[in-house]
Amino acid sequence: METFLQFLNDYTLRNVLLGTAWIGVVGGSLGTFAFLRRQSLLGDVISHATLPGVVLAFLAWQRREIGVLMVGAAGTGLLATALIQVVDTRTNIKRDGAMGVALAVFFGVGVLLLSMIQNLPTASQAGLDKFIFGQAAALVQSDVTVLLVVGGVVLVVLLLLWRELKIVTFDPDFARAAGFRVTILEGGIVTLIVVTTVMGLQTVGVILMSAMLIAPAAAARQWTDRLSIMVLVAAVVGGASGAAGAAVSAFGPQIPTGPVVVLVLTALVLVSLFLGRKRGLVWHWRRQRRSRKLADPDTVLGALGALESAHAGTVRGHPEAVVRMAVGQSAQVGQALAALREAGLADEHDGDWSLTERGRSEAVRLTRDQRD
């Protein structure tokens, strides 16, 4: 406890915690739109493509302030998205292929540039290699200020364009038909994704930053059916994961922040997948169990009779799944079938159920009674 209080009082650590949590908040909010637009992979390409930009910006200005590096990162990030667009529209290569190639090429060039500058005297102190997995401890006060301002601008744009982003994400054709400038808006969304990705490079790292965009949205989707709530939940999930990742990695200097953040996010996504109020698996199972009534043996007997006459001597038995569908209403037929076997009315061979002689006449009597 004492360590924890000390920790909160520590000026550097407070910066680190605040910076990384803020990245999670902005990443979660904006990532919701990337997630719903099915552009999850695009975030991954963008973050990998920022690495050469980071190194080039450092080479050009010989400085490692976050603002300087962000400019370079955004440059190559946007260049990658533009290239994907060109390849997608001008060649017969599909979009996913273009994204795969762009990711590999840009990241490859980035790693190459990184190893080349390791020999420069200035570079050894720059710690640019930390950008691959991220190192929150490297954040200083001025970095955090830049992050707060840039992230604040992103969130204000998101609120200002809320309706536009919503309609363009749900139904771009209708948006265009209603007179919205869809091409500009879609370009704007990609630019916002690039800026948000770039914010997290130093702390979370280029390889794992895209998780900061997508995972909070994936978790949030399990809890709500409303876009506004989803953005809020994603922001909270992102912020909490960012803070937790920064705290853990700050305790040990050798722990990179990115992987810790991703582990926390993964845990939250898993919990949401199982327990989420709206679509969590546990609730889904419970609903399914409740709605699955037990079929009564007479109904199942009638269904077996109907199946038999429909197949008139060609097929002897039917698996339980077929019987269930014949009964309908996703009812559970297992117990009814067992009861029928007990009564000597039905029998099972190799998982296929069929009527016995007695069962057949009983089924015929049943249908006749129903008709009367």
Choice between 97 and 172, CB closer to other proteins? 172
- Using the contact rule CB under 8 A, the part of the chain among 15-23, 224-232, 267-275, 339-347 near other proteins is 224-232
* Residue 95 contacts other proteins per CB under 8 A: no
Give the contact letters, 125-164, x = binds to other proteins (CB under 8 A), - = no.
-----------------------------------xx-xx
Region 28-67 residues binding other proteins, contact defined as CB under 8 A = 36, 38
For residue 226, the minimal CB distance to other proteins (Å) is: 6
| Residues touching other proteins, count (CB under 8 A) | 25
Least Å distance, CB 156 to other proteins, is: 11
Residue with token string 């080039």: 56
Q: Which residues contact 16 (CB under 8 A, 6 or more apart)?
A: 136, 137, 139, 203, 246, 250
Give the separation between CA 7 and CA 247, rounded to whole angstroms. Answer: 9
Any contact of residue 179 with other proteins (CB under 8 A)?
A: yes
Euclidean distance between CA atoms 310 and 304, whole angstroms = 10
Determine contact, residues 312/318, Cβ cutoff 8 Å: no
Indicate the residue among 164 and 186 with the shorter CB distance to other proteins.
Answer: 164
Q: How far is the CB of 220 from other proteins (least distance, A)?
A: 9
Which one of 63, 226, 293, 316 is in contact with other proteins (CB under 8 A)? 226
> Is residue 89 part of the contact set for other proteins (CB under 8 A)?
no
218 binds other proteins (CB under 8 A): no
Query: Going by C-beta distance under 8 Å and a sequence separation of 6 or more, which residues neighbour residue 230?
Result: 32, 217, 220, 221, 223, 224
Binding segment (CB under 8 A) for other proteins, from list 183-191, 219-227, 305-313, 316-324: 219-227
Shortest separation between residue 159's beta carbon and other proteins, angstroms: 9
Q: Does 176 bind other proteins (CB under 8 A)?
A: yes
Q: Which is nearer to other proteins, 37 or 360 (CB)?
A: 37
- Our finding on whether 171 is near other proteins (CB under 8 A) is yes
281 binds other proteins (CB under 8 A): no
**What is the phi-psi region of residue 313: left when phi exceeds 0, alpha when psi lies from -120 to 50, beta otherwise?**
left
- Single out the residue of 140, 167, 322, 364 in contact with other proteins (rule: CB under 8 A): 167
Give the nearer residue to other proteins in terms of CB position, either 189 or 230: 230
- Least Å distance, CB 177 to other proteins, is 4
Crossing angle of the two packed helices 11-36 and 182-199, in degrees rounded to 10: 150
Closest separation between CB of residue 37 and other proteins, Å? Answer: 9
**Stretch of residues binding other proteins (CB under 8 A), selected from 19-27, 103-111, 218-226, 299-307:** 218-226
Nearest distance from residue 224's CB to other proteins, in Å?
6
**Can you tell me which of 173, 350, 357, 372 binds other proteins, judged by CB under 8 A?**
173
Q: Could you say which of 7, 105, 180, 283 contacts other proteins (CB under 8 A)?
A: 180
Q: Pick from 104, 153, 177, 275 the residue near other proteins by CB under 8 A.
A: 177
Catalog residues that contact other proteins under the rule CB under 8 A: 36, 38, 160-161, 163-164, 166-167, 169-171, 173-180, 221, 224-227, 230
